[in-house]
Structure 1
Amino acid sequence: MRIQNSLKNMFFGLSGQIISLAMGMVVRTVFIYTLGIEYLGVDGLFTSIFLMLSLANLGFDTAMIFSLYKPLAESDTYKIQALMNLYKKAYRIIGGVVLLIGLSLFPFLSYLMNGETKIDNINTIYLLFLLQSVLSYYFVYKQSIIIADQRNHIISKIHSIFIIISNLIIIIALVTIGNYVLVLSIQVAFRIIENVYIAKKADKLYPFLKESNNASLTKPERKNFYENLYSLFLYKISGVVINGTDNIIIAIFAGITWVGIYSNYLLIITTITTFVGYIFYSITASVGNLNVNAGKEENYFIFRVMNFANFWVYGFCAICLWILINPFISIWLGEQYLLNMLIVFAIILNFYTAGMQNATTTFRETTGLFKKGKYRPIIAAIINIGISITLTQAIGIVGVFLGTVISRLCVYFWYDPYVIFKYVFHKSVKSHFTRYMWFTLLVIVTAIICEFVVSLYSNNMLINFIYRLGVCLIIPNIIFFMVFRKSKEFIYLLNIVKQIVNKKTI
C-alpha cells in the first residue's frame, strides 16, 4: 500500500510538473516580449523576498506532517483533531507575523535594486505579493493532513487544473492589455481560490475536521511538538537563506536586469528540481510510515535505494543541463539572454549538491531527528551570506552560487548523513561518503564524454540541439546501467518497474 500511494503521488506530481513547465515556458515567453526583462527581474526579486518571509512558517509544515503520521496510521481521530486545531491557530499567527514584517520592509524597496528602474506601480506590485503570501496561511494548513495520509496526488491534480486555467487567462491578459498589475492580480486571485478549494477538499475527505470540537494536546505533547518545531526552525533556516538570498544579492550588487536573465535559468532549474524532487517528496510520507513499522535493516536498505535513485536522477539531469541549457535558451529567447559557462557550471553544481541531499533530508525529517545539530544551520546561513557577498564583489554573480555550494558542503554534506547513520542505522557513515564520491566522479566523467561526443557534430541550431538531446538521453543512461546493472539497489528498482508495467499489486 505504501508503494502504491507513492507511485500514485509520483505520477500525478510529475504530470503536474510537466503541465507547469509547458505553461510556464509559454507564459515566460509572452511575458518577456510584452513587458520586458526588467519586469521579470522584479518578479524574481519579490518572489525571493517572500521566500525569506516564509521564515515565519519555517519548519512548521514539516513538524505538522511528521506529527500526523502516527495518529493517521492508528486512526486516532481525537489526536488528529487536536493537532489540526493547533495548526489552525498557529497559521493565523504566522499570517499576521508575515503581514507585519512585509509592511515593515515596504519603505526600503528602493535599496534592493541596483540602479534606476522604469517600472511603474512598484509599491502596488509589492503589496499584491504580500497579499498573496498572507492570505495563503489561512487555508494552506489543511493540506498537511492530505500529504501525511500519502494522498498528495489529490493536491497535484487540483494544482494542475488551476495552473492551466490561470496561465491561459494570464497569457490573454498579457497579449491584450500588457499590464503587470492586472496579471499579478489574476495570479493572486487564482492562488487564493486554489487554497480555499483544497481546504474544502480536505474537509470532504476527513469530515471530522468540520466537527465542532475542543480536542487539544496534552501538555507533554505540546512541549514535544514545540521542541521539534524550534529545532526545525533552526535547521531549515539556512535552506531559506540559501534559496532566497541569491536573487536579492544579485539585485543589490549587479542590478535587476541580471535577476531577469538569471530567472530564465532559474525557471528551468526550479522546474526540474521540483519535477525530480517530487519523486522523493512523494515517498516521504511512505518512509515516515515505514519508520513507524519497520526495522533498522529494512530502513537502511530503503535509504540506499533512495540514495542510488537520487544519484541516477540528479546526475543525469546535471549532465543534461550542462550540455543543453544554453542551446535551449538560445533557441527559446535568443543569445542576448545567455550566461557564460562558468556561471552555468556554478548553477548546475548548486543544483547537483542540493539534489544529492534528498535521501538524507527525507530520512532526517521522517525519523524526527530535528534536535540533533540544531544550531549548525545558523552557521550555514552565515557562511552562505558572507561568502556569497564577498565572492560576488570579487568575481561577479558566479560568486553567489559558489557561496551557496560552499555553505552547503560545510554543513549539510557531512552532518546529515552522520546523524542518520549514528542514530537511525547505527552504522559507520564512511560507506555513504565513499559512494557519494564514486557517484560524483562518475557524473563528471560521463559529462566529459558527452561533451566530447557533442563537439563532433555541428549543424544549424535546432538540429544541433536535437543531436545533443539524443546524446544526453543515451550515453549517461548506458554508462550508469553498465556500471550498476548488478547492484542490489538497481535490481530492486528494476523489479518495482517491472511490477508496475505488469500491473501487479506491489
Structure 2
Amino acid sequence: MRIKNSLNNIIFNLGSTFITYILSFVSRSIFIYTLGAQYLGVNGLFSNILMMLSLAELGIGTAINFSLYKPIAQKDNNKISTLMTFYRKAYSLIGCIVAVFGFILMFFLHYIIKDANTIENLRTIYLLYLFSTVSGYFLSYKTTLVSAYQKDYTLVPINVAMSAITILGQIVILMTTKSFIYYLFVQIIFGFIQRIIINNVITKQYKYIDFKTKEKLPKSELNVIIKNVKAMFYHKIGDYCVNGTDNIVISTFVGIKAVGFYSNYTLLITTVNAIIMIIFNSTSASFGDLIAKEKPEKRLEKFRVLNFLGFWFFGFATICFYNLLNPFITLWIGNKYILDLSIIIPVIINYYLLGMRVPLGIVKSSGGVYAQDRFVPLIQAVVNLFFSIILVKYIGLAGVFWGTVISAFVPMIYRPYVVYKYIFETSCKKYLIQYTQYLLVVVVNIFVTSTLCKMLFLNAGWVNLIGRGFVCVVIPNLLIVVLFRKSYEFKQLISIVKENKGGFRSGKKG
C-alpha cells in the first residue's frame, strides 16, 4: 500500500505541476514584458520577507505530521482528532502573530530595499502579500492530515483547476490593465476560494475526524511535540537564513532589479525542482511508516536506493542547468536578462548540495530526529550570512551565492552522522565515500557535456538549444547506467520499477 499511494501521488502531482508551470511561464513572460524586472524583484523579495515571518510556525506542522503516522497506522481516530484540534488552535495563534509582526515590519521596508523610492504603492503591495500569507494559517492546516494519509493526489484536481483559473485571470489583468496591484488581487481572491474549497472537501472526506474535539492531548504527548517543535525551530531559523535571505541581501547591497534578474533563474530551477520533489515528497509518509515498522537494516537498504535516485535526479538537473540556463533565458526573454556564468556556477553548486540532502532530510523528518542536530542549522546560518555579506561587497552578486555554498559544508558533514547513528544505527563512512563518488561523476559529466555543447552548438537558436538538451539527456544518463549498472542501488531500483510496473492501474500493493 505504501508504494501504491506513493505512485498515485507522483502521477497526479506530475500532471498538475506540468500544467501549472506551463501556465506560469506564459504568465511570467507577459509579466516581464508589461511590468519589467523591478516588480519581479519585489515579488521575490517579499516572498523572502514573508518566509522570515513564517518562522513563527516554529516547525509545528512537521512535528504534527510526524505525530500522525502512528495513530493513522493504528486507526486511532480519537488521537488523530485531538492532534488536529491542537494543530488548528496553534495555527490560528500563529496566524495572528504573523499578522501583527508583518504589519510592524511594513514600516521598515525602506531599510531593506535599496531603491524603495522607485516602487509605487510599495506598502499596499506588501500588505496584499501579507494578507495572502496570513489567511493560509487559518484555512490550510487540514492538508497536513491528507499528506499523512498519503492521499495528496485527491486534492490535485482542485489545485490544478484553481491554479489555472488564477493564472489565466492574472494574464488577462496584465494584458488589460498592466497593474501589479490588480494582479495580486486576482491571486489573493482565487487563492482564498481554493483554500475554502479544499477545507470543505477534507472535512467531508474525513467525517470520522473531529477537528474541534474538546479532548486535550495528554501532557506526555504534548511534551514530546513541544520538544520536537523546539528542535525544529532551530532548523527553521537555520533553513531560512540559508535559503530565504539571498533576495534580502541582494536587495540591500545590489538592488531590487538584481533580485528580478535572479528570480527568472529561480523560476526555472524551482520548476524543475518541483517536478523532482514530487517523487521524493511522495515517499515521505511511506518512509515514516517504514521506520515505524522495520528494523534499521531494512531502513538503510531502502535509503540507499532513495539516495541513489537523489544523485541521479539532482545530478542530472545540475548538468542541465549548467548547459541550458543561459541559452534558454536568451531565447525566452532576451540576453539583457542574462547573468554571467560566474554567478550561475555557485547557484547550481548550491542546488546540487541541497538536493543531495533531500533523501537524508526525508528519513530524518520521517524518523522524528530533530533535537540531535538542532544547533547545526544555526551554525550554518551564521556561516552563510557572514560570508554572503562579506563576499557581496567584494565580488558582487556571485558573493551572495558563494556564501551559501560555503555554509552548505556544515550539514553535509553532520547530517549523515545523525541519520546513520539514530535511524540506521551504523557508521556513515560508506555514505561519505559514496557521496564523493557521486560528486565526481557529476563534475565529469559537466565537463564532458559542456565541452561537447561548446564544440557543436555554440550559436543561439532553438535548434542549438534542442541539440544541447539532447547532449545533456543522453551523455549523463548513459554514463550513470554504465558506471552503476552492477551496483546494489541500481539493481534494486530496477527491481522496484519492474515490480510496480502497472501498479497504478492494477492497484498492486507494496
Question: What TM bracket, shorter-length normalisation?
Answer: over 0.9
CA–CA separation in structure 1 for the residues paired with 2:304 and 2:323: 29
Pairing 1:208-247 to 2, within 5 Å after superposition = 208-210=208-210, 213-247=213-247
Equivalent residue number for residue 98 of structure 2: 98
Equivalent residue number for residue 442 of structure 2: 443
Pairing 1:175-254 to 2, within 5 Å after superposition = 175-210=175-210, 213-254=213-254
Could you list the runs of 5+ residues in structure 1 that have no partner in the other structure?
Answer: none
Pairing 1:72-471 to 2, within 5 Å after superposition = 72-115=72-115, 117-210=117-210, 213-410=213-410, 412-458=411-457, 459-471=459-471
Distance 1:180 1:451, change over 3 A: same
Pairing 1:35-54 to 2, within 5 Å after superposition = 35-54=35-54
Q: Once the 2 structures are TM-superposed, how far is the Cα of residue 200 of structure 1 from its aligned partner?
A: 1.2
Could you list the runs of 5+ residues in structure 2 that have no partner in the other structure?
Answer: none
CA–CA separation in structure 2 for the residues paired with 1:337 and 1:53: 30
Greater Cα shift, 367-376 or 79-88? 367-376
CA–CA separation in structure 2 for the residues paired with 1:319 and 1:131: 39
Q: Check whether the contact 2:237–2:377 (CA below 8 A) recurs between aligned residues.
A: yes
CA–CA separation in structure 2 for the residues paired with 1:210 and 1:183: 37
Q: Once the 2 structures are TM-superposed, how far is the Cα of residue 163 of structure 1 from its aligned partner?
A: 1.1
CA–CA separation in structure 2 for the residues paired with 1:173 and 1:422: 54
Q: Once the 2 structures are TM-superposed, how far is the Cα of residue 275 of structure 1 from its aligned partner?
A: 1.7
CA–CA separation in structure 1 for the residues paired with 2:235 and 2:102: 23
State percent identity of aligned pairs: 39
CA–CA separation in structure 2 for the residues paired with 1:210 and 1:166: 32
Greater Cα shift, 227-236 or 207-216? 207-216
Q: Check whether the contact 2:343–2:397 (CA below 8 A) recurs between aligned residues.
A: yes
Secondary structure of the structure 2 residue equivalent to 1:141: coil
* Letter paired with 2:449: C
Q: Once the 2 structures are TM-superposed, how far is the Cα of residue 497 of structure 1 from its aligned partner?
A: 2.2
Q: Once the 2 structures are TM-superposed, how far is the Cα of residue 501 of structure 1 from its aligned partner?
A: 3.5
Q: Check whether the contact 1:99–1:134 (CA below 8 A) recurs between aligned residues.
A: yes
Secondary structure of the structure 2 residue equivalent to 1:169: helix
CA–CA separation in structure 2 for the residues paired with 1:390 and 1:328: 31
Q: Once the 2 structures are TM-superposed, how far is the Cα of residue 372 of structure 1 from its aligned partner?
A: 0.3
Q: Check whether the contact 2:60–2:229 (CA below 8 A) recurs between aligned residues.
A: yes
* Letter paired with 2:75: S
Instruction: Give per-residue Cα distances to partners, 1:468-506, cap 9 Å, x unaligned.
Output: 011011111000000111112112211222344444624
* Letter paired with 1:422: K
CA–CA separation in structure 2 for the residues paired with 1:482 and 1:157: 40
Q: Once the 2 structures are TM-superposed, how far is the Cα of residue 209 of structure 1 from its aligned partner?
A: 3.2
CA–CA separation in structure 1 for the residues paired with 2:475 and 2:494: 19
Q: Once the 2 structures are TM-superposed, how far is the Cα of residue 155 of structure 1 from its aligned partner?
A: 3.1
How many aligned residue pairs are there?
505
Provide TM-score, normalisation by structure 1. Answer: 0.97
* Letter paired with 1:439: Y
Instruction: Give per-residue Cα distances to partners, 1:339-382, cap 9 Å, x unaligned.
Output: 00011111101110100001110111111111102122112111
Provide TM-score, normalisation by structure 2. Answer: 0.97
Secondary structure of the structure 2 residue equivalent to 1:208: coil
CA–CA separation in structure 2 for the residues paired with 1:450 and 1:267: 23
* Letter paired with 1:471: V
* Letter paired with 1:58: L
Distance 1:115 1:212, change over 3 A: closer
Q: Once the 2 structures are TM-superposed, how far is the Cα of residue 321 of structure 1 from its aligned partner?
A: 0.4
CA RMSD of superposed structures (Å): 1.3
* Letter paired with 1:402: W
CA–CA separation in structure 2 for the residues paired with 1:286 and 1:17: 21
Q: Once the 2 structures are TM-superposed, how far is the Cα of residue 442 of structure 1 from its aligned partner?
A: 0.4
Q: Check whether the contact 2:327–2:460 (CA below 8 A) recurs between aligned residues.
A: no
CA–CA separation in structure 2 for the residues paired with 1:27 and 1:238: 32
Q: Once the 2 structures are TM-superposed, how far is the Cα of residue 80 of structure 1 from its aligned partner?
A: 0.6
Secondary structure of the structure 1 residue equivalent to 2:236: helix
Q: Once the 2 structures are TM-superposed, how far is the Cα of residue 58 of structure 1 from its aligned partner?
A: 3.4
Q: Once the 2 structures are TM-superposed, how far is the Cα of residue 462 of structure 1 from its aligned partner?
A: 1.4
CA–CA separation in structure 2 for the residues paired with 1:391 and 1:161: 44
Instruction: Give per-residue Cα distances to partners, 1:160-193, cap 9 Å, x unaligned.
Output: 2211111011101100111110110110112222
Q: Check whether the contact 1:277–1:355 (CA below 8 A) recurs between aligned residues.
A: no
Greater Cα shift, 376-385 or 326-335? 376-385
CA–CA separation in structure 1 for the residues paired with 2:146 and 2:329: 37
Q: Check whether the contact 1:304–1:489 (CA below 8 A) recurs between aligned residues.
A: yes
Q: Check whether the contact 2:81–2:210 (CA below 8 A) recurs between aligned residues.
A: no
Distance 1:296 1:111, change over 3 A: same
CA–CA separation in structure 1 for the residues paired with 2:183 and 2:329: 24
* Letter paired with 2:320: C
Greater Cα shift, 193-202 or 393-402? 193-202
